[in-house]
Protein backbone atom coordinates (compact mmCIF):
# COMPACT_ATOMS: atom_id res chain seq x y z
CA UNK A 1 0.00 0.00 0.00
CA UNK A 2 1.66 3.20 -1.21
CA UNK A 3 1.03 6.70 0.17
CA UNK A 4 2.59 10.12 -0.02
CA UNK A 5 2.77 10.37 3.77
CA UNK A 6 2.42 8.15 6.81
CA UNK A 7 1.45 9.78 10.12
CA UNK A 8 2.12 7.59 13.15
CA UNK A 9 -0.05 8.83 16.02
CA UNK A 10 -3.65 10.06 16.01
CA UNK A 11 -3.51 12.45 18.96
CA UNK A 12 -4.17 16.21 18.61
CA UNK A 13 -0.89 16.89 16.78
CA UNK A 14 -1.23 13.97 14.35
CA UNK A 15 -4.86 14.87 13.60
CA UNK A 16 -3.95 18.54 13.10
CA UNK A 17 -1.36 17.57 10.47
CA UNK A 18 -3.82 15.24 8.71
CA UNK A 19 -6.56 17.89 8.67
CA UNK A 20 -4.20 20.68 7.61
CA UNK A 21 -2.89 18.67 4.68
CA UNK A 22 -6.41 17.76 3.54
CA UNK A 23 -7.40 21.42 3.71
CA UNK A 24 -4.32 22.85 2.01
CA UNK A 25 -4.04 20.26 -0.76
CA UNK A 26 -7.42 20.72 -2.40
CA UNK A 27 -6.13 20.64 -5.97
CA UNK A 28 -3.81 17.68 -5.53
CA UNK A 29 -4.47 16.02 -2.19
CA UNK A 30 -1.56 14.13 -0.69
CA UNK A 31 -2.51 10.56 0.15
CA UNK A 32 -2.05 9.95 3.89
CA UNK A 33 -2.03 6.81 6.03
CA UNK A 34 -2.90 7.64 9.66
CA UNK A 35 -1.77 4.98 12.14
CA UNK A 36 -3.95 4.92 15.27
CA UNK A 37 -3.24 2.36 17.96
CA UNK A 38 -6.70 2.95 19.45
CA UNK A 39 -10.03 1.76 18.13
CA UNK A 40 -11.87 5.08 18.29
CA UNK A 41 -11.20 8.74 19.02
CA UNK A 42 -11.20 9.18 22.85
CA UNK A 43 -13.94 11.83 22.92
CA UNK A 44 -14.85 11.18 26.57
CA UNK A 45 -11.36 11.84 27.95
CA UNK A 46 -11.90 14.50 30.68
CA UNK A 47 -8.30 15.75 30.92
CA UNK A 48 -8.03 19.52 30.62
CA UNK A 49 -5.61 21.22 28.24
CA UNK A 50 -4.38 24.81 28.42
CA UNK A 51 -4.20 26.11 24.85
CA UNK A 52 -2.95 29.61 24.14
CA UNK A 53 -4.79 32.13 22.00
CA UNK A 54 -2.09 31.63 19.39
CA UNK A 55 -2.90 27.91 19.29
CA UNK A 56 -6.59 28.70 18.88
CA UNK A 57 -5.78 30.87 15.85
CA UNK A 58 -3.90 27.94 14.31
CA UNK A 59 -6.46 25.27 15.21
CA UNK A 60 -9.71 27.10 14.41
CA UNK A 61 -9.52 26.39 10.66
CA UNK A 62 -8.73 22.74 11.45
CA UNK A 63 -11.19 22.02 14.24
CA UNK A 64 -11.95 23.92 17.44
CA UNK A 65 -14.45 22.72 20.09
CA UNK A 66 -17.45 24.88 20.87
CA UNK A 67 -17.25 24.37 24.64
CA UNK A 68 -14.11 26.07 25.95
CA UNK A 69 -13.46 28.41 28.87
CA UNK A 70 -11.44 31.55 28.11
CA UNK A 71 -8.52 32.41 30.36
CA UNK A 72 -8.44 36.19 30.42
CA UNK A 73 -5.86 36.58 33.15
CA UNK A 74 -3.19 34.63 35.01
CA UNK A 75 -2.06 35.33 38.57
CA UNK A 76 1.49 34.13 39.34
CA UNK A 77 2.81 34.04 42.91
CA UNK A 78 4.95 32.01 45.33
CA UNK A 79 3.61 30.55 48.53
CA UNK A 80 4.71 32.21 51.76
CA UNK A 81 6.86 34.88 50.11
CA UNK A 82 6.44 38.28 48.52
CA UNK A 83 6.33 38.86 44.78
CA UNK A 84 3.56 38.31 42.32
CA UNK A 85 2.56 39.33 38.82
CA UNK A 86 -0.71 39.54 36.89
CA UNK A 87 -0.96 38.88 33.17
CA UNK A 88 -4.12 40.36 31.66
CA UNK A 89 -5.31 39.81 28.07
CA UNK A 90 -6.44 43.44 27.82
CA UNK A 91 -2.81 44.57 27.98
CA UNK A 92 -2.22 42.77 24.66
CA UNK A 93 -5.52 43.62 22.92
CA UNK A 94 -6.57 39.96 22.94
CA UNK A 95 -9.94 38.40 23.80
CA UNK A 96 -8.12 35.84 25.99
CA UNK A 97 -4.63 34.68 26.84
CA UNK A 98 -5.70 31.09 26.31
CA UNK A 99 -8.47 28.56 26.80
CA UNK A 100 -9.17 25.59 29.04
CA UNK A 101 -10.18 22.80 26.67
CA UNK A 102 -11.28 19.22 27.32
CA UNK A 103 -8.92 16.75 25.62
CA UNK A 104 -11.91 14.72 24.43
CA UNK A 105 -13.68 17.77 22.98
CA UNK A 106 -10.58 18.82 21.05
CA UNK A 107 -10.11 15.30 19.70
CA UNK A 108 -13.75 15.19 18.60
CA UNK A 109 -13.50 18.55 16.82
CA UNK A 110 -10.37 17.51 14.90
CA UNK A 111 -11.58 13.98 14.11
CA UNK A 112 -14.91 15.18 12.72
CA UNK A 113 -13.10 17.30 10.14
CA UNK A 114 -11.16 14.37 8.67
CA UNK A 115 -13.88 11.71 8.69
CA UNK A 116 -14.74 12.13 5.02
CA UNK A 117 -11.31 13.05 3.67
CA UNK A 118 -10.94 10.98 0.51
CA UNK A 119 -7.16 11.19 0.62
CA UNK A 120 -6.91 9.75 4.16
CA UNK A 121 -6.74 6.05 5.06
CA UNK A 122 -7.01 5.51 8.83
CA UNK A 123 -5.66 2.30 10.35
CA UNK A 124 -7.20 1.77 13.81
CA UNK A 125 -6.09 -0.69 16.49
CA UNK A 126 -2.78 -0.80 14.68
CA UNK A 127 0.75 -1.06 16.02
CA UNK A 128 3.63 0.48 14.05
CA UNK A 129 7.06 -1.13 14.10
CA UNK A 130 10.41 0.49 13.32
CA UNK A 131 10.39 1.96 9.79
CA UNK A 132 12.91 1.08 7.12
CA UNK A 133 14.26 4.13 5.29
CA UNK A 134 15.23 3.60 1.65
CA UNK A 135 16.53 5.94 -1.03
CA UNK A 136 13.15 7.03 -2.38
CA UNK A 137 10.69 5.62 0.15
CA UNK A 138 10.05 4.68 3.78
CA UNK A 139 8.62 1.24 4.50
CA UNK A 140 6.60 0.85 7.71
CA UNK A 141 5.70 -2.62 8.99
CA UNK A 142 2.41 -2.54 10.91
CA UNK A 143 0.35 -5.04 12.86
CA UNK A 144 -3.40 -4.74 12.28
CA UNK A 145 -6.35 -6.78 13.53
CA UNK A 146 -6.25 -8.59 10.20
CA UNK A 147 -2.57 -9.40 10.45
CA UNK A 148 0.75 -7.78 9.42
CA UNK A 149 1.10 -5.34 6.52
CA UNK A 150 3.81 -3.16 5.04
CA UNK A 151 3.08 0.42 4.08
CA UNK A 152 5.28 2.54 1.85
CA UNK A 153 5.40 6.32 1.60
CA UNK A 154 7.59 9.19 0.52
CA UNK A 155 7.74 10.59 4.09
CA UNK A 156 6.93 9.42 7.59
CA UNK A 157 5.71 11.78 10.34
CA UNK A 158 6.08 10.44 13.87
CA UNK A 159 3.73 11.99 16.45
CA UNK A 160 3.09 9.08 18.81
CA UNK A 161 5.39 9.43 21.81
CA UNK A 162 9.11 9.84 22.33
CA UNK A 163 9.95 6.21 23.23
CA UNK A 164 8.78 4.83 19.89
CA UNK A 165 10.17 7.89 18.10
CA UNK A 166 13.70 6.95 19.14
CA UNK A 167 13.21 3.55 17.51
CA UNK A 168 11.91 5.25 14.35
CA UNK A 169 14.89 7.50 13.65
CA UNK A 170 18.15 5.67 13.15
CA UNK A 171 20.83 7.13 15.39
CA UNK A 172 18.33 9.21 17.39
CA UNK A 173 19.04 9.71 21.04
CA UNK A 174 17.06 10.93 23.99
CA UNK A 175 18.19 13.98 25.94
CA UNK A 176 16.57 14.95 29.18
CA UNK A 177 16.13 14.34 32.87
CA UNK A 178 13.68 12.99 35.41
CA UNK A 179 12.32 15.69 37.70
CA UNK A 180 12.10 14.90 41.42
CA UNK A 181 8.36 15.48 41.10
CA UNK A 182 5.16 13.88 39.94
CA UNK A 183 1.89 15.61 39.12
CA UNK A 184 -1.49 15.10 40.72
CA UNK A 185 -4.26 16.00 38.28
CA UNK A 186 -7.91 16.43 39.18
CA UNK A 187 -10.85 18.77 39.50
CA UNK A 188 -11.96 21.05 42.32
CA UNK A 189 -14.98 23.22 42.98
CA UNK A 190 -14.33 26.51 44.75
CA UNK A 191 -16.72 28.82 46.53
CA UNK A 192 -15.83 32.32 45.25
CA UNK A 193 -13.84 32.13 42.00
CA UNK A 194 -12.49 34.99 39.95
CA UNK A 195 -14.19 34.55 36.59
CA UNK A 196 -11.94 33.55 33.67
CA UNK A 197 -8.71 33.72 35.70
CA UNK A 198 -6.09 31.00 36.05
CA UNK A 199 -3.60 30.66 38.88
CA UNK A 200 0.04 29.54 38.93
CA UNK A 201 1.37 29.24 42.47
CA UNK A 202 4.96 28.19 43.09
CA UNK A 203 5.64 26.26 46.26
CA UNK A 204 8.76 24.78 47.81
CA UNK A 205 8.10 21.41 46.19
CA UNK A 206 6.71 22.50 42.83
CA UNK A 207 4.08 24.56 40.99
CA UNK A 208 0.32 24.36 41.50
CA UNK A 209 -1.84 25.49 38.59
CA UNK A 210 -5.62 25.94 38.50
CA UNK A 211 -7.50 26.38 35.21
CA UNK A 212 -11.12 27.60 35.07
CA UNK A 213 -13.46 25.14 33.37
CA UNK A 214 -16.89 26.62 34.13
CA UNK A 215 -18.44 30.08 34.10
CA UNK A 216 -20.86 29.88 37.03
CA UNK A 217 -20.48 30.14 40.79
CA UNK A 218 -19.47 27.97 42.58
CA UNK A 219 -17.03 27.16 39.77
CA UNK A 220 -15.03 24.13 38.74
CA UNK A 221 -11.28 24.24 38.15
CA UNK A 222 -8.89 21.68 36.75
CA UNK A 223 -5.67 21.50 38.75
CA UNK A 224 -2.11 20.31 38.17
CA UNK A 225 -0.36 19.89 41.52
CA UNK A 226 3.37 19.10 41.24
CA UNK A 227 5.27 17.80 44.21
CA UNK A 228 7.50 15.18 45.74
CA UNK A 229 6.43 11.75 44.37
CA UNK A 230 5.82 10.39 47.88
CA UNK A 231 3.62 13.33 48.81
CA UNK A 232 1.79 13.08 45.49
CA UNK A 233 1.00 9.41 46.10
CA UNK A 234 -0.19 10.25 49.61
CA UNK A 235 -2.49 12.97 48.24
CA UNK A 236 -3.79 10.52 45.68
CA UNK A 237 -4.56 7.88 48.32
CA UNK A 238 -5.99 10.07 51.08
CA UNK A 239 -9.65 10.89 51.48
CA UNK A 240 -11.31 13.80 49.72
CA UNK A 241 -11.63 15.87 52.91
CA UNK A 242 -7.89 15.60 53.67
CA UNK A 243 -6.97 16.44 50.06
CA UNK A 244 -9.28 19.48 50.09
CA UNK A 245 -7.79 20.75 53.34
CA UNK A 246 -4.20 20.39 52.08
CA UNK A 247 -5.00 22.07 48.77
CA UNK A 248 -6.68 24.95 50.60
CA UNK A 249 -3.64 25.33 52.88
CA UNK A 250 -1.21 25.48 49.94
CA UNK A 251 -3.30 27.64 47.63
CA UNK A 252 -4.67 30.04 50.21
CA UNK A 253 -8.09 31.64 50.56
CA UNK A 254 -8.25 33.71 47.38
CA UNK A 255 -11.25 31.76 46.09
CA UNK A 256 -12.89 30.80 49.37
CA UNK A 257 -13.50 27.23 50.44
CA UNK A 258 -12.59 24.21 48.35
CA UNK A 259 -16.02 22.55 48.14
CA UNK A 260 -15.05 19.30 46.45
CA UNK A 261 -12.12 17.48 44.86
CA UNK A 262 -12.42 14.45 42.58
CA UNK A 263 -11.11 12.45 39.60
CA UNK A 264 -7.55 12.46 40.85
CA UNK A 265 -4.75 10.86 38.81
CA UNK A 266 -0.94 10.78 39.10
CA UNK A 267 1.61 11.31 36.31
CA UNK A 268 5.43 11.20 36.49
CA UNK A 269 7.28 14.25 35.21
CA UNK A 270 10.35 14.38 33.02
CA UNK A 271 12.00 16.34 30.24
CA UNK A 272 12.80 14.39 27.12
CA UNK A 273 13.92 15.57 23.70
CA UNK A 274 14.64 13.44 20.65
CA UNK A 275 17.65 14.50 18.58
CA UNK A 276 17.84 14.74 15.64
CA UNK A 277 14.15 15.29 14.95
CA UNK A 278 14.62 15.02 11.17
CA UNK A 279 16.57 12.34 9.38
CA UNK A 280 16.13 12.00 5.64
CA UNK A 281 12.46 11.10 5.05
CA UNK A 282 11.40 10.83 8.70
CA UNK A 283 10.39 13.67 11.05
CA UNK A 284 9.44 13.60 14.73
CA UNK A 285 6.99 16.26 15.99
CA UNK A 286 4.91 17.23 19.00
CA UNK A 287 5.12 15.20 22.18
CA UNK A 288 7.14 12.59 20.30
CA UNK A 289 9.88 15.18 19.78
CA UNK A 290 9.78 16.77 23.22
CA UNK A 291 8.03 15.92 26.48
CA UNK A 292 7.90 18.96 28.78
CA UNK A 293 7.09 19.70 32.40
CA UNK A 294 3.52 21.07 32.68
CA UNK A 295 4.63 24.36 34.27
CA UNK A 296 3.34 27.22 32.07
CA UNK A 297 1.40 24.69 29.95
CA UNK A 298 3.62 24.87 26.87
CA UNK A 299 3.84 21.23 25.71
CA UNK A 300 0.82 20.94 23.42
CA UNK A 301 1.09 24.56 22.31
CA UNK A 302 4.58 23.82 21.01
CA UNK A 303 3.21 20.71 19.30
CA UNK A 304 0.43 22.67 17.60
CA UNK A 305 2.99 25.11 16.22
CA UNK A 306 5.02 22.09 15.01
CA UNK A 307 2.00 20.67 13.21
CA UNK A 308 1.06 23.87 11.40
CA UNK A 309 4.65 24.68 10.41
CA UNK A 310 5.02 21.16 8.99
CA UNK A 311 1.82 21.54 6.97
CA UNK A 312 3.19 24.83 5.58
CA UNK A 313 6.49 23.21 4.60
CA UNK A 314 4.82 20.22 2.93
CA UNK A 315 2.35 22.46 1.09
CA UNK A 316 5.16 24.64 -0.25
CA UNK A 317 7.86 22.02 -0.92
CA UNK A 318 5.81 18.86 -1.48
CA UNK A 319 6.37 15.51 0.23
CA UNK A 320 10.16 15.75 0.03
CA UNK A 321 13.13 15.57 2.41
CA UNK A 322 13.73 19.24 1.58
CA UNK A 323 10.37 20.09 3.16
CA UNK A 324 11.37 18.35 6.38
CA UNK A 325 14.74 20.13 6.45
CA UNK A 326 12.94 23.46 5.97
CA UNK A 327 10.56 22.61 8.80
CA UNK A 328 13.44 21.77 11.15
CA UNK A 329 15.17 25.10 10.45
CA UNK A 330 11.99 27.09 11.04
CA UNK A 331 11.19 25.38 14.34
CA UNK A 332 14.67 25.37 15.90
CA UNK A 333 14.47 28.72 17.73
CA UNK A 334 10.94 28.31 19.08
CA UNK A 335 11.71 24.83 20.34
CA UNK A 336 14.96 25.87 22.01
CA UNK A 337 13.44 28.86 23.82
CA UNK A 338 10.33 27.00 24.96
CA UNK A 339 12.18 23.92 26.20
CA UNK A 340 14.82 26.02 27.99
CA UNK A 341 12.25 28.30 29.62
CA UNK A 342 10.01 25.44 30.79
CA UNK A 343 12.93 23.37 32.09
CA UNK A 344 14.38 26.37 33.91
CA UNK A 345 11.11 27.06 35.72
CA UNK A 346 10.67 23.40 36.62
CA UNK A 347 14.20 23.03 38.01
CA UNK A 348 13.99 26.29 39.93
CA UNK A 349 11.01 25.02 41.91
CA UNK A 350 11.82 21.33 42.21
CA UNK A 351 15.15 20.69 43.89
CA UNK A 352 15.08 22.52 47.21
CA UNK A 353 16.28 25.87 45.86
CA UNK A 354 12.81 27.42 46.11
CA UNK A 355 13.04 28.20 49.82
CA UNK A 356 16.69 29.28 49.75
CA UNK A 357 16.21 31.67 46.87
CA UNK A 358 12.64 32.76 47.56
CA UNK A 359 13.61 36.46 47.98
CA UNK A 360 15.36 36.37 44.59
CA UNK A 361 12.33 34.82 42.92
CA UNK A 362 10.06 37.33 44.64
CA UNK A 363 12.20 40.17 43.33
CA UNK A 364 12.03 38.66 39.82
CA UNK A 365 8.21 38.50 39.93
CA UNK A 366 8.08 42.07 41.20
CA UNK A 367 10.46 43.18 38.43
CA UNK A 368 8.19 41.61 35.83
CA UNK A 369 5.30 43.64 37.21
CA UNK A 370 7.37 46.85 37.14
CA UNK A 371 8.92 46.32 33.68
CA UNK A 372 6.06 45.88 31.17
CA UNK A 373 8.33 45.38 28.11
CA UNK A 374 9.99 42.31 29.67
CA UNK A 375 6.68 40.99 30.94
CA UNK A 376 5.14 41.57 27.52
CA UNK A 377 7.91 39.73 25.69
CA UNK A 378 7.52 36.72 28.00
CA UNK A 379 3.73 36.75 27.66
CA UNK A 380 3.86 37.00 23.88
CA UNK A 381 6.19 34.00 23.69
CA UNK A 382 3.83 31.97 25.87
CA UNK A 383 0.89 32.96 23.67
CA UNK A 384 2.38 32.84 20.18
CA UNK A 385 5.85 31.27 20.40
CA UNK A 386 8.45 32.19 17.81
CA UNK A 387 7.06 31.92 14.28
CA UNK A 388 9.00 32.47 11.09
pLDDT at position 350 over 90 = no
The overall average pLDDT reported for the chain is: 90
- pLDDT of the residue at 162: 63
pLDDT band at 147 (very low <50, low <70, confident <90, very high): very high
- pLDDT of the residue at 167: 62
Give the total number of structural domains in the chain: 2
Share of the chain above pLDDT 70, in %: 94
Angle between helices 372-384 and 321-348 (to 10 degrees): 130
The CATH number linked to 242 is 3.30.9.10
Residues 31 and 106 in one domain: yes
Summarize the confidence of residues 370-381 as an average pLDDT.
Answer: 92
Residues 256 and 280 in one domain: no
Out of 269, 290, 305, a domain closes at 269
Of residues 119 and 55, more confidence is placed in 55
Residues 50 and 112 in one domain: yes
Which residues are registered as beta bridge partners of 221? 188, 212
Can you give 47-58 as a three-state secondary structure string?
CEEEEEHHHHHH
The CATH number linked to 345 is 3.50.50.60
Residues 252 and 341 in one domain: no
**What is the distance between the alpha carbons of residues 9 and 157, in angstroms, rounded to a whole number?**
9
Out of 238, 269, 300, a domain closes at 269
Residues 357 and 277 in one domain: yes
Residues 316 and 293 in one domain: yes
Residues 9 and 103 in one domain: yes
Of residues 18 and 38, more confidence is placed in 18
**What is the distance between the alpha carbons of residues 142 and 336, in angstroms, rounded to a whole number?**
33
pLDDT band at 204 (very low <50, low <70, confident <90, very high): confident
pLDDT band at 32 (very low <50, low <70, confident <90, very high): very high
Query: Strand 207-212 to strand 197-202: parallel, antiparallel, or no bridges (unpaired)?
Result: antiparallel
pLDDT band at 119 (very low <50, low <70, confident <90, very high): confident
User: What domain range includes position 106?
Assistant: 2-176+270-384
pLDDT at position 242 over 70 = yes
- pLDDT of the residue at 216: 66
Q: Are 250 and 209 in contact (CB under 8 A)?
A: no
- pLDDT of the residue at 193: 87
Summarize the confidence of residues 312-329 as an average pLDDT.
Answer: 94
Residues 153 and 292 in one domain: yes
Q: Are 3 and 121 in contact (CB under 8 A)?
A: yes
Residues 254 and 274 in one domain: no
**What is the distance between the alpha carbons of residues 301 and 307, in angstroms, rounded to a whole number?**
10
Residues 183 and 215 in one domain: yes
- pLDDT of the residue at 39: 79
pLDDT at position 213 over 80 = yes
- pLDDT of the residue at 144: 94
- pLDDT of the residue at 332: 95
**What is the distance between the alpha carbons of residues 315 and 294, in angstroms, rounded to a whole number?**
32
Q: Is the pTM here over 0.75, yes or no?
A: yes
pLDDT at position 304 over 90 = yes
Q: Kindly state the greatest CA–CA separation across the chain.
A: 63
pLDDT band at 264 (very low <50, low <70, confident <90, very high): very high
Q: Are 349 and 360 in contact (CB under 8 A)?
A: no
Out of 222, 242, 269, a domain closes at 269
- pLDDT of the residue at 351: 62
Residues 76 and 165 in one domain: yes
pLDDT band at 121 (very low <50, low <70, confident <90, very high): very high
pLDDT at position 75 over 90 = yes
Residues 260 and 380 in one domain: no
Could you read off the pLDDT of 217-240 as tens digits, one per residue?
667 999 999 999 999 999 999 999
Amino acid sequence: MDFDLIIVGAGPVGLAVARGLAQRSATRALSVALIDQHGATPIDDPRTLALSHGSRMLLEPLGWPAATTPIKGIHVSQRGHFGRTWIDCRAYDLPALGYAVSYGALMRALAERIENAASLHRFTRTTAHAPIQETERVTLPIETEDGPRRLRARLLIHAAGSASAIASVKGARSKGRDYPQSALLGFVRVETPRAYWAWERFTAEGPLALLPISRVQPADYAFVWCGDPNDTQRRMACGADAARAELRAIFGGRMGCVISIDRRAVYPLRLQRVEPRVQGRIVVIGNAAQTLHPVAGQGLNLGVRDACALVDALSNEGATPQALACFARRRRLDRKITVTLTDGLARTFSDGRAERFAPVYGAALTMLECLPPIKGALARHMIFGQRR
